[in-house]
């Protein structure tokens, strides 16, 4: 019997597949109406980041005439860019038709998004007054002349390209106006009848009042078209040894604001001569970078759509479930000492981690606190707890990743604040990002120092913990805690190989140890024994790991993948041993869980690492084994619940990417809500 060919999909195309699943959520009539609108915002924000990072990298490689990286499987870069442009254009059409449908459904609910042509007399007076009192002071139009360049335009902003004419003149002048949505918000609620809510976008407020800006110069006819562009956001870091790494990152951030354009979206109604003039001044020459769109862009603002209309248009608030043993007024250290604890966000509160850090900062027995930080909440209680610990005389050491993409500026400021409070900041590693999520507390108990560790799949971020599905292990198990301490030693000496028996640590060991476990399952399958692998990931894009998993399935290992994002390994629809699913729902599936049957010993890990080349080879990552049998059972139940999902689960298979998985139990299983109910029953929460 001939072996079936299982293709590896390009990772960039796989990422666009994932964003298509987000767009499916915007189109899903079972979701509350305003939540569907917010999914449009998530789709738009994802696409912006995709172009700023991934497409920018491909464009740069093409410009430098570099060969395609191995993960592109030899696909020419120009063909890949064209395929991306084609898929993006298709998604843009679907996106715009979805937006029109949602606007129509909102109107049925008495919520109208109107433009400047639909204003009543009262509303027109309100808009004019609002413009003069709130908006005009923030507008600084740039006249676009033949000799001008537009290098200083900001890619995160919305711009109006304004055509200006004077009575009797055939020519057209052009001005660019930045819409100050970042300052004022994108949505303006208008005076309207009690039974309705009328909303106008700030773009249209500016459109309506263009005469207030330009009439004084003799212009009496105006036309305005929204444009949006995306710049290369990858940091080019120099190697000046006279600078600190913090200075190098800071300089790189300044360069980001003038990165090369990689995408230009424009209102398709814009006159061609206007478009040519603007793109010439921006230095955009390649047709592939131009994407025709509709009247509005920058839909990421719709993630913050106003709270209007009845409650049924939004998800009901999530009632979190308390973690047994971590009740208020009881010592977190005592609870951890009694046995390992596993917290599941967002179903259980992140507040338990804040309580742990607060207790550590005040406890006279605590000697030291070590922590890694990658992305933090804007008003971070984690930072406040660490500062308080330092002020209370604790020895606090923090590694804060200055290279966390799009969080560099915030992390630089956090590092300064911590340093000013007396916290020791470990130096960043120029060629190695630290993505592991670790905290270690050393506490004097009797004549010894006892170690307490927190290891998480997600960031120590109380904001994202409300919407990201992650797992966090709290343990005093010396097998784990002493190796967590050893990971912190890696930061001081990253190139010295350290031995780890229990933790799987990248970049030195994680790839090798995972490969060995896959090979063990293959050997078992070849002997006719039970062999099984289940991997829950954000992304599977490393070619070598994908090929190993493919080889395992061909050998008879049951390989099941739950991959939220990009997945390059696509099984055949009827493959008996390889299956791949993706779940996109209310919360962002973010946890990484590795399960290996291991001859009945059932090895199970939670991890910060996806199976991506960068995670395995260029980052410090940690996967921690779960030894407690009750916690292992809970995580296995979580995986089973997700595999039973027949509401929000999509098939990742050759030929039918993103088709909904409708098989499984006869009853409807929406895994996020099913796991919430599971925790209520097993953790003693109150419905």
> How many residues are present in the chain?
687
Return the axis-axis angle of helices 671-683 and 629-644, rounded to nearest 10°.
Answer: 150
Burial 236-246 (b: 16+ CB within 10 A, else e): ebeeeeeeeeb
List the 173-179 sheet strands across, edge first: 142-143, 173-179, 158-165, 221-231, 261-267, 290-293
* 359 CB burial (10 A radius; 0-12, 13-18, 19+): middle
Query: What DSSP element (H or E) covers 445?
Result: strand 437-445
Max Cα distance, the chain (Å):
93
**Cβ-Cβ contacts under 8 Å for 151 (sequence gap 6 or more):** 258, 282, 283
Nearest to 229 by CA among 179, 175, 266, 180: 266
**Cβ-Cβ contacts under 8 Å for 164 (sequence gap 6 or more):** 172, 173, 174, 175, 214, 219, 221, 222
**Cβ contacts of 277-284, under 8 Å, gap ≥ 24:** 277/144, 277/174, 278/144, 278/150, 278/161, 278/174, 278/176, 278/227, 281/144, 281/148, 281/149, 281/150, 282/149, 282/150, 282/151, 282/153, 282/229, 283/149, 283/151, 284/229
Structural tokens at position 170? 């055939």
CA 512 to chain centre: 27
C-alpha–C-alpha distance, residues 391 and 407, integer Å: 26
Under a CB-based contact definition with an 8 Å cutoff, are residues 408 and 376 in contact?
no
CA terminus-to-terminus distance, the chain = 54
Under a CB-based contact definition with an 8 Å cutoff, are residues 474 and 454 in contact?
yes
Phi, psi of 362, rounded to the nearest 5 degrees:
-105, -25
DSSP 125-190: HHHHHHIIIIIGGG---EE--TT---TT--TTSEEEEEEEE-TT----EEEEEEE-HHHH-SEEEE
Under a CB-based contact definition with an 8 Å cutoff, are residues 259 and 56 in contact?
yes
Q: Is 301 helix (H, G, I), strand (E, B) or coil?
A: helix
C-alpha–C-alpha distance, residues 466 and 462, integer Å: 7
C-alpha–C-alpha distance, residues 224 and 177, integer Å: 10
C-alpha–C-alpha distance, residues 447 and 468, integer Å: 40
C-alpha–C-alpha distance, residues 101 and 95, integer Å: 10
C-alpha distances in Å from residue 529, one per residue of 410, 520, 524: 52, 11, 5
Nearest to 294 by CA among 156, 459, 97: 97
The β-bridge relationship of strands 261-267 and 290-293 is: parallel
435 has catalytic annotation: yes
Q: Which of 277, 435, 502, 590 is catalytic?
A: 435
Structural tokens at position 230? 């995306």
Nearest to 382 by CA among 404, 410, 406: 410
Catalytic residues, which ones?
435
């Amino acid at each position: 019997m001939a072996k079936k060919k299982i293709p590896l999909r390009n990772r960039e195309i796989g990422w666009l597949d994932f964003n298509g699943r987000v767009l499916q959520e915007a189109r899903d009539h079972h979701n509350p109406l305003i939540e569907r609108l917010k999914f449009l915002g998530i789709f738009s924000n994802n696409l912006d980041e995709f172009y700023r990072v991934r497409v920018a990298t491909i464009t740069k490689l093409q410009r430098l005439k570099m060969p395609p990286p191995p993960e592109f499987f030899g696909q020419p870069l120009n063909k890949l860019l064209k395929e991306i442009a084609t898929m993006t254009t298709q998604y843009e059409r679907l996106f715009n038709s979805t937006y029109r449908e949602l606007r129509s459904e909102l109107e049925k609910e008495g919520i109208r998004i109107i433009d400047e042509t639909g204003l009543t007399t009262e509303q027109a007076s309100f808009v004019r007054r609002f413009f003069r009192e709130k908006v005009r002071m923030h507008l600084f139009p740039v006249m676009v002349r033949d000799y001008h360049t537009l290098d200083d335009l900001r890619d995160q902003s919305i711009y109006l390209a304004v055509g200006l004419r004077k009575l009797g003149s055939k020519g057209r002048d052009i001005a660019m106006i930045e819409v100050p949505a970042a300052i004022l918000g994108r949505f303006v609620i208008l005076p309207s009848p009690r039974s309705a809510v009328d909303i106008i976008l700030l773009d249209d407020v500016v459109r309506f009042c263009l005469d207030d800006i330009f009439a004084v110069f003799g212009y009496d006819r105006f036309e305005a078209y929204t444009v949006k562009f995306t710049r290369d956001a990858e940091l080019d870091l120099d190697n000046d040894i006279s600078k600190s790494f913090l200075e190098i990152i800071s300089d790189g951030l300044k360069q980001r604001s003038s990165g090369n354009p990689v995408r230009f979206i424009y209102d398709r109604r814009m006159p061609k001569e206007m478009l040519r003039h603007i793109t010439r001044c921006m230095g955009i020459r390649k047709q592939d970078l131009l994407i025709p769109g509709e009247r509005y862009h920058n839909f990421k603002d719709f993630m913050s759509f106003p709270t209007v209309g009845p409650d049924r248009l939004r998800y009901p608030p999530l009632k979190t479930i308390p973690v047994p043993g971590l009740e208020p007024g009881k010592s977190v250290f005592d609870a951890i000492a009694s046995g390992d604890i596993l917290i599941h966000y967002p179903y259980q509160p992140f507040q338990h981690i804040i309580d742990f850090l607060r207790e550590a900062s005040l406890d006279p027995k605590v000697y030291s606190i070590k922590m890694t930080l990658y992305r933090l909440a804007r008003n971070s209680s984690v930072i406040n707890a660490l500062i308080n610990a330092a002020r209370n005389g604790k020895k606090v050491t923090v590694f804060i990743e200055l290279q966390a993409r799009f969080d560099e500026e915030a992390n630089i400021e956090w590092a300064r604040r911590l340093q000013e409070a007396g916290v020791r900041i470990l130096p960043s590693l120029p060629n190695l990002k630290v993505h592991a999520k670790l905290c270690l507390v050393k506490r004097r108990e009797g004549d010894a120092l006892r170690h307490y560790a927190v290891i998480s799949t997600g960031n120590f971020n109380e904001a994202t913990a409300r919407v990201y599905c992650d797992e966090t292990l709290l343990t005093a198990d010396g097998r784990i805690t002493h190796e967590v301490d050893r990971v912190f030693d890696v930061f001081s000496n990253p190139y010295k190989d350290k031995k780890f028996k229990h933790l799987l640590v990248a970049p030195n060991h994680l790839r090798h140890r995972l490969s060995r476990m896959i090979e063990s399952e293959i050997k078992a399958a070849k002997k006719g024994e039970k062999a099984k692998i289940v991997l829950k990931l954000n992304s599977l894009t490393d070619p070598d790991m994908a090929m190993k998993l493919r080889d395992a399935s061909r050998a008879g290992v049951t390989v099941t993948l739950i991959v939220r994002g990009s997945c390059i390994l696509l099984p055949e629809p009827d493959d008996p041993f390889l299956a791949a699913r993706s779940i996109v729902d209310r919360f962002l599936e973010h946890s990484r869980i590795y399960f290996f049957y291991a001859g009945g010993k059932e090895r199970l890990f939670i991890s910060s690492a996806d199976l991506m080349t960068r995670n395995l080879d260029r980052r410090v990552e940690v996967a921690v084994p779960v030894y407690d049998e009750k916690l292992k059972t809970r995580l296995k139940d979580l995986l089973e619940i997700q595999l039973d999902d027949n509401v929000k689960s999509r098939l990742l298979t050759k030929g039918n990417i993103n088709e909904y998985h409708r098989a499984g139990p006869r009853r409807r299983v929406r895994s996020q809500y099913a796991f919430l109910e599971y925790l209520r029953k097993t953790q003693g929460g109150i419905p």
